[in-house]
Each structure stands twice: as structure tokens, then as C-alpha cells.
């Protein structure tokens, strides 16, 4: 097992959570509550509680329209499990709280942004359970926190001058596009209907393609510094398969539900392969 | 203001490893922990440090190059006690800090063993994470009575032997060097041994591209 296995689990699960929440905010899957509900409904989601009722009646909306609390709950659970793993790579986990007093440290920044995202997810969950879909403003705040978490995750490795495989600009697209692609695919699992919609189809294909390019760029960089990059090639291949699956689903050659799950499985496996390869380069 | 630094004359170092051994004993270092490693160089550049038995190589004295033009020189490497240490800015607990006299040190009571400093440091191998309870070659404690403690789950590195310099001595690696290749002192004092050694000489600082501005000078 790689020495940085806890970081592998943390960045994969927390990255999935962050990516899904950004996609959720971007596509307003279950509609937004409050004053923005109607516009979200027009944009393709289901507006507020009326939208949820409509979704329940037609059966078209999928789980998130009927149970708007399910996605924030899943994201919160993924983030929480990831955070449990985070201190396991420390020599003295019991001293972890000291780290929160040093805002310039990468691990502290990850903790701050994770906490911010966690609070938004918790509020979203409570609102969704009590009143239906959360306000768009809350989702936007959550998306900003999620993007911030992705940035500090990548930056923590970008500044690692002692590990040439990590300290390169390719680390940023690896994290951003990997997280966003698998996150968007997770959202499609909750909202199967999205797979057939033009806007989401284009976005998911674009994100998967960008993730593929990011894996390929990182593979070239790893080869340049003499690190093993075989898993990046596999990750890129899996991302290509995911693009084909999205296309087949859009064409109606795959059932929406099966297509969404298969795409998500492919992209999750791709990101996991890429992250494992990335952390394997660290031999301290 | 005092700013401690060291100069190492690469023309005088002949790779005897006495500095590494003196450091190991004076600081009562456990197995697999070296503050100071003398690398054997088989090429002319400073891009990589070379090979050392202490880092897993099978020999300390194999030349590179060709039969007609062999290349063999030695590069002692330890913490560079940088002016802009990347390890300090990334340390999440403040355990790694720069003293007023320029020495970069680690407070083991605050270190959480996250290895951020190891990852951020451009000088590979100068720090070691003590993964588990330290093991020693001898059953008795050796070295200075006030040598650093070695605590599992923390990161250690060269201290410039601040326990010795605080009582007016010089670092242990200086004391036994048979080639008299090392110079030590206050870089802000033009009359110090290290300042006089550097004056008028060509020198190299390791990985200057990293922007850390080391206080260890390699005289050529």
C-alpha cells in the first residue's frame, strides 16, 4: 500500500463530494427554494416544493427531486468519511488541532475549506429535509467552498518542491477536472433524467474530456521526471469509456439509470487510478 | 545580528565520512536517521546529490566518467538553514521555525508528523520522519548529554548543533573533519571564519532556483 493512502482516500472522497456539489449548484438538480425556485424550474430543474410534487407525480425527476435531502446527505457523508482518513497520515493525530492555528499551512487550509463546505452541506440537508430544496444562494456559497477546497487540495501538492512529480501546474487540472467530472456523474446518478438533457450532456462530456486531457498531461509530466505513470494511462482510457457511455445514454442505447451508474463508476475508477498513481510518486 | 552559516570547501573534502559519523554520535542518532550525508558524485553537476551508503547505495567510493576521465568528488548535504525556508511556511503547527540566529529547527513537542516540511523542502533527504519507536545500534546512550530527543511520529533534521554553539563550541561535523573542509560562524560578521572563507571564492548554493537562499555555501 502507498504511504499516502489516507490522503488518497481523503482527496478522492472529499473531491467527489465537492465536485458533486458544484455540479448540483450549476444544474440546480432538484430546483432551488426561495425566490429563485421558478427560474430554476425553467432552467430544467424542478422548482421548489411544487416541482418536487410534479416530479413525484410524473416519476421523471429521479431521487433528488423527490428527496432533495439525499444529495447533500451523500455529499456530507463522503466529506465526513474523507475527513476521518485525513489525520491518519499524521505521526501525531492527537496534535492535529494545533494545526488549525496556522492559517498559512496547507493542512489547515484544507480543514478550513472542508469545514466551510461541511457547514453548507449540513444547512442544505436540514433545509431540504424541512422545507424542500435549499435556496440557490446557499448552493452558490457551497459551490464556492467546494471550489476553494479543490484549489487548496491541489495547491498543497503544487508547493511540494521536494517531490518533482507533484510540484507542477499539471496538478491543478488533475484535481479540478477529476473532481468535477466524477461529481457531475454522481449528480446524474441522483437525477437520471439529466443524462438525456442537452446542457448536462455537453457539460458532462466536456468535463470527462478535460479530465482525460488532465490525466494525459500528468502522465507526460510523470514520465518526464522518471515517475511511474501507467495508472494515468488507464485513468485516461476509463475517462474515454465514460464519454462513450454518456453518448450512448444520450442516444437512448442505454437505459438512463444504467447509463448514469456506469458513467459514474467509470469516472470514479478513473480518478481513483489517477490519484493512486499520483500519491505513489511520494516516497519519503 | 547573528546569522549562522557554514561553508564547505569541495576541493578539500575527500569523502572520509568523519563529519557524518561525528554527527551521528554527537546527536545519539537512531538507526536510519542521518542529519548529515556525504554523497559520492559521479558527474559534474549539482542537479542530483549522487549516491551514499547511508541512502541505500552499496558503495561510497565508485568513480563515474570514463577510464581516461574519471569523475569522483564528494558532496556533504545537511539542512541548508535557508534564509527563506519553505519548510517553515508550510508547517501546520509552527513546530518548524527559524530562530533569530538563523538556525531552522523543529520543536518535537509541536510536530504532528504530517511531513509537509519534507515535501516542501527542495533538498531531498535532509529530513527524516521517525515512523516508529527509534532503534539504536548500541544499548547505551552516546553523544552529548543535551543531544536532541528522538520522538516517534515526528520529523528531525540537522540542528546546526545549537546545543553545542550555545556553549561556545562549533557543530560536531566541524570538530572531526580531517580535511578542514568546513567553516562555520556568523555570516553577518565579516571577521568570522565562514565569512573569510567565502570571501573571494566561487561558491554554489544548492537549488537556488527554489528561492530558499541557503546559508550553506559550497566552495569550488
Helix, strand, coil percentages for chain B (3-state, nearest 5): 20, 20, 60
Coil, strand or helix: which one is B188? Answer: coil
Quick one: A102 and A53 in the same domain?
Answer: yes
Tens-digit pLDDT profile for residues B140-190: 899 888 899 999 999 999 999 999 999 999 999 999 899 999 999 999 999
| pTM of the predicted structure, to 2 decimals | 0.80
Tens-digit pLDDT profile for residues B19-52: 999 999 999 999 989 999 999 999 888 888 888 8
Number of domains chain A contains = 2
What's the average model confidence in pLDDT over B115-136? 91
Q: A177: domain range?
A: 162-284
pLDDT of residue B139 exceeding 60: yes
Find all residues with CB under 8 Å of A108, minimum gap 6, and list them: A99, A100, A101, A102, B92
DSSP state of B185: E
Pairing of strands B216-219, B4-9: parallel
Task: Give the nearest chain A residue to B123 (CA atoms).
Answer: A162
Q: Cα B162 to the chain's mean position, in Å?
A: 13
Task: Give the nearest chain A residue to B90 (CA atoms).
Answer: A105
Domain boundary, last residue among A139, A159, A179: A159
Question: How high does pLDDT run on average in chain B?
Answer: 92
* Cβ separation A162–B92 shorter than 8 A: no
Instruction: Give the count of Cβ contacts less than 8 A between chain A and B.
Output: 84
Tens-digit pLDDT profile for residues A60-94: 456 666 688 899 999 999 999 999 988 888 888 88
* Cβ separation A284–B91 shorter than 8 A: no
Quick one: A177 and A279 in the same domain?
Answer: yes
pLDDT at position A33 is 60
Quick one: A6 and A121 in the same domain?
Answer: yes
Task: Give the nearest chain B residue to A90 (CA atoms).
Answer: B114
pLDDT of residue A1 exceeding 70: yes
| B112, B116, B124 member nearest A95 (Cβ) | B112
Tens-digit pLDDT profile for residues A149-169: 999 999 999 988 888 899 999
Q: B46: domain range?
A: 4-219
Measured in angstroms, the CA of B64 and the nearest CA of chain A are apart by 21
Quick one: A145 and A176 in the same domain?
Answer: no
pLDDT of residue B129 exceeding 60: yes
Predicted ipTM?
A: 0.72
Quick one: A252 and A277 in the same domain?
Answer: yes
Quick one: A136 and A17 in the same domain?
Answer: yes
Domain boundary, last residue among A143, A159, A175: A159
| A91, A160, A163 member nearest B153 (Cβ) | A91
Quick one: A127 and A195 in the same domain?
Answer: no
Percent of chain A with pLDDT over 70: 86
Quick one: A3 and A132 in the same domain?
Answer: yes
Amino acid at each position: 500500500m502507498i504511504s499516502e493512502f489516507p490522503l488518497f482516500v481523503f482527496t478522492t472522497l472529499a473531491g467527489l463530494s465537492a465536485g458533486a456539489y458544484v455540479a448540483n449548484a450549476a444544474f440546480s438538480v432538484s430546483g432551488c427554494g426561495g425566490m429563485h425556485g421558478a427560474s430554476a424550474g425553467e432552467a430544467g430543474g424542478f422548482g421548489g416544493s411544487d416541482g418536487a410534487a410534479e416530479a413525484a407525480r410524473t416519476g421523471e425527476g429521479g431521487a433528488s427531486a423527490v428527496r432533495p435531502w439525499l444529495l447533500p446527505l451523500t455529499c456530507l457523508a463522503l466529506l465526513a468519511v474523507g475527513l476521518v482518513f485525513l489525520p491518519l497520515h499524521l505521526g501525531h493525530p492527537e496534535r492535529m488541532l494545533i494545526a488549525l492555528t496556522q492559517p498559512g499551512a496547507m493542512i489547515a487550509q484544507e480543514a478550513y475549506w472542508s469545514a466551510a463546505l461541511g457547514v453548507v452541506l449540513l444547512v442544505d440537508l436540514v433545509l431540504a429535509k424541512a422545507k424542500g430544496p435549499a435556496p440557490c444562494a446557499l448552493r452558490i456559497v457551497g459551490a464556492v467552498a467546494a471550489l476553494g477546497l479543490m484549489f487548496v487540495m491541489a495547491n498543497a501538492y503544487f508547493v511540494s518542491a521536494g517531490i518533482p512529480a507533484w510540484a507542477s501546474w499539471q496538478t491543478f487540472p488533475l484535481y479540478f477536472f477529476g473532481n468535477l467530472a466524477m461529481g457531475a456523474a454522481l449528480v446524474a446518478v441522483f437525477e437520471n433524467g439529466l443524462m438525456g438533457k442537452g446542457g448536462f450532456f455537453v457539460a458532462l462530456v466536456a468535463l470527462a474530456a478535460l479530465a482525460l486531457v488532465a490525466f494525459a498531461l500528468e502522465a507526460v509530466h510523470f514520465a518526464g521526471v522518471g515517475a511511474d505513470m501507467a495508472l494515468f494511462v488507464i485513468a485516461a482510457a476509463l475517462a474515454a469509456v465514460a464519454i462513450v457511455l454518456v453518448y450512448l445514454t444520450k442516444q437512448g442505447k442505454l437505459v438512463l439509470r444504467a447509463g448514469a451508474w456506469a458513467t459514474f463508476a467509470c469516472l470514479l475508477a478513473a480518478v481513483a487510478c489517477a490519484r493512486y498513481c499520483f500519491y505513489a510518486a511520494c516516497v519519503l | 545580528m547573528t546569522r549562522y552559516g557554514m561553508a564547505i570547501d569541495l576541493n578539500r573534502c575527500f569523502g572520509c565520512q568523519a563529519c557524518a559519523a561525528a554527527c551521528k554520535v554527537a546527536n545519539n542518532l537512531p538507526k536510519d536517521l542521518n542529519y548529515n550525508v556525504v554523497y559520492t558524485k559521479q558527474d559534474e553537476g549539482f542537479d542530483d546529490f549522487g549516491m551514499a551508503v547511508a541512502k541505500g547505495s552499496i558503495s561510497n567510493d565508485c568513480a563515474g566518467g570514463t577510464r581516461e576521465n574519471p569523475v569522483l568528488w564528494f558532496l556533504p548535504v545537511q539542512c541548508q538553514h535557508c534564509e527563506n525556508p519553505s519548510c517553515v511556511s508550510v508547517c501546520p503547527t509552527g513546530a518548524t521555525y527559524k530562530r533569530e540566529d538563523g538556525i531552522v529547527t523543529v520543536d518535537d513537542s509541536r510536530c504532528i508528523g504530517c511531513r509537509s516540511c519534507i515535501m516542501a523542502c527542495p533538498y531531498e533527504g535532509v529530513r527524516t520522519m521517525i515512523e516508529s519507536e527509534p532503534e539504536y545500534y548500541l544499548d547505551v546512550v552516546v553523544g552529548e548529554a543535551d543531544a536532541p530527543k528522538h520522538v516517534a511520529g515526528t520529523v528531525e533534521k540537522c540542528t546546526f548543533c545549537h546545543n553545542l554553539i550555545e556553549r561556545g563550541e562549533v557543530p560536531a561535523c566541524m570538530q572531526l573533519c580531517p580535511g578542514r573542509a568546513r567553516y562555520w560562524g556568523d555570516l553577518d560578521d565579516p571577521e568570522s571564519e565562514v565569512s573569510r572563507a567565502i570571501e573571494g571564492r566561487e561558491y554554489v548554493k544548492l537549488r537556488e532556483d527554489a528561492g530558499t537562499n541557503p546559508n550553506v555555501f559550497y566552495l569550488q
